[in-house]
Amino acid sequence: MKLPSIRILFLDGLALLLMYLLFFAPDWPRDTILGVLGNAIMLVSVWASLYVWMKVRKVANDTRSLGEQLTAISLFFTVAIGGFFFWKLHLLGWQTSLDDFHTRAVGRNVVIMLIGFQIVRHIITRQHAALLGSGGEAMEDERDRQIGARADAHSHMLLVILIIVLIVQLAVGGDAIVRQATPLNVAHWLIGILILSSIAEYGSAMWQYHRANAE
């Protein structure tokens, strides 16, 4: 059995460290993950995940369509972004402003993950196109589009339900809700709803791909 290279082990360790710092690390040293060091680790981690994918892309391309690979990556990033956002939501507080350090830091990390997500998607798509060459095999076809359309419908349904729940809460929730409903908090709630609907979309697509692949 071929042992994984030192580089892969190093990158795996780095990814685990990032996951720990993002989700489980105590607040000491204060704001490590929210500061420059956290941003640097996050960027390196995005690069590392891309590097690992490059190493296994031949196997991935043999067994999974591009649509399925992108869906898996999208689900991974969306769950990571959602997990980070909801995990650190308490740092945002209820009556905070955009000048607050934590608000800006959490927002910055979410944006970095979003940008990393788009870069990884773009590079994988370009690499896939180069691998297929001009042979004529499609990168995406009607099956991917059908799955995408159904997943989109599921996401839309959840989005509408959550928005209605929010509207009802704001309308009949009483003073307790109204006091918390500052413009910034409503923005946070809406961001959370968007993240949840994105998770629903990619989760639904992954589930459909899984069903289509099951023997």
| Residue closer to other proteins, measured from CB, 95 or 146 | 146
Cα–Cα distance list, 160 to 99, 168, 187 (Å):
31, 12, 16
Cα–Cα distance list, 166 to 9, 74, 133, 155, 160 (Å):
45, 26, 48, 16, 10
Q: Which of residues 98-137 bind other proteins (CB under 8 A)?
A: 135-137
Shortest gap between Cβ of 209 and other proteins (angstroms)? 9
CB distance 92 to 103 below 8 Å? yes
Shortest gap between Cβ of 213 and other proteins (angstroms)? 7
Q: Which of residues 185-214 bind other proteins (CB under 8 A)?
A: 211-214
Radius of gyration of the chain (CA): 20
Shortest gap between Cβ of 76 and other proteins (angstroms)? 20
| Residue closer to other proteins, measured from CB, 99 or 215 | 215
CB distance 139 to 128 below 8 Å? yes
Q: Does 68 bind other proteins (CB under 8 A)?
A: yes
- The token duo for 28 is 């000491």
CB distance 208 to 151 below 8 Å? yes
Q: Applying CB under 8 A, what is the total number of residues that bind other proteins?
A: 20
Q: Does 3 bind other proteins (CB under 8 A)?
A: no
Q: Does 141 bind other proteins (CB under 8 A)?
A: yes
CB distance 77 to 176 below 8 Å? no
Distance CA 57, CA 102 (A): 37
Shortest gap between Cβ of 212 and other proteins (angstroms)? 5
Binding range to other proteins, per CB under 8 A, among 88-96, 115-123, 140-148, 153-161: 140-148
| Residue closer to other proteins, measured from CB, 41 or 66 | 66
Binding range to other proteins, per CB under 8 A, among 64-72, 75-83, 84-92, 153-161: 64-72
| Residue closer to other proteins, measured from CB, 125 or 185 | 125
> Residues interacting with other proteins, by CB under 8 A?
64-68, 135-144, 211-215
